[in-house]
Amino acid sequence: MMQNRVNIKDESRSAVASLRRDYCRETLDKKSLQADPIDQFDHWFQEAMNCELIIEPNAMTLSTAGGDLKVTSRTVLMRGYDKEGFRFFTNSQSTKGQQMAKNPNVALLFYWAPLERQVKIHGSISLLPRFVTEDYFFSRPRESQLGAWASDQSRPLANRQALEDRLQELAKRFLNEPIPLPEFWNGYIAKPDSIEFWQGRPNRLHDRLRYQQQENGEWKIERLSP
């Protein structure tokens, strides 16, 4: 039996190592890019939203590091973007909230596998005005508003029932009245200084084109080796 288990593990590892897929859907060159990276992002994002195979095109990996420089990553949902940056909302007492308070440098990654594309963003984070956070919070379903109060995000939890009990307690507390915006729940905007557009190509020779913001505020576009 032990030998069989070892063989299964070895076969699984071998299968992972042999996974191959050639990307051949699209190409990307400098001439086809918009002059401004947000305009280019908007073009790709619209195509991602129109792709039925992509369930949440606004899902992005957010990477942060605190004072100890240990990097952590998680998926969050982008809730807006414009020339100023990319917006999302979260609990400021969470691990990411505490790290962003100590170190404003962040990275975002959008990966749209069916389109064989990803967008990598580096920039700095800042809090959104409180009224913007309020507007978004009160637009959320009531259950999501309660969830923001119920979750002591990133803290150890005894069991699932403790979370469910907390949710029911809050539902009774705010019964028949508006749910207030928690003090610890905030909106953030990541202002980019670098945005890279990646298009999968055959033989791992992918197209990578990066916008780098210059001191005068203009964007320089350069091709990177795959």
The mean pLDDT value for 13-33 works out to 86
* Confidence (pLDDT) at 9: 61
Q: Kindly give, in sequence order, each residue whose CB lies less than 8 Å from that of residue 153, ignoring residues fewer than 6 positions away.
A: 90, 91, 93, 94, 95, 97
The confidence band for 25, taking pLDDT boundaries of 50, 70 and 90, is confident
| Cβ atoms of residues 100 and 64 within 8 Å | yes
Q: Kindly give, in sequence order, each residue whose CB lies less than 8 Å from that of residue 12, ignoring residues fewer than 6 positions away.
A: none
Domain range 23-140+184-224, CATH architecture:
Roll (2.30)
Look at residue 2 and tell me whether its pLDDT is greater than 60.
Answer: no
Q: Which residue has the tokens 């051949």?
A: 24
Look at residue 12 and tell me whether its pLDDT is greater than 70.
Answer: no
DSSP 92: T
**What mean pLDDT, rounded, does the chain reach?**
93
Instruction: Give 70-79 pLDDT, tens digit per residue.
Output: 999 999 999 9
For the record, the structure tokens of 223 come out as 């091709």
* Confidence (pLDDT) at 41: 98
* Confidence (pLDDT) at 122: 98
Q: What is the pTM of this model?
A: 0.90
Look at residue 55 and tell me whether its pLDDT is greater than 80.
Answer: yes
The domain ranges of the chain are 23-140+184-224
Q: How far apart are CA 10 and CA 195, in angstroms?
A: 39
Percentage of the chain modeled with pLDDT above 70: 94
Spot the catalytic one: 130, 142, 173, 204: 204
Q: Is 22 helix (H, G, I), strand (E, B) or coil?
A: coil
* Confidence (pLDDT) at 5: 54
Catalytic residue status for 204: yes
Look at residue 1 and tell me whether its pLDDT is greater than 60.
Answer: no
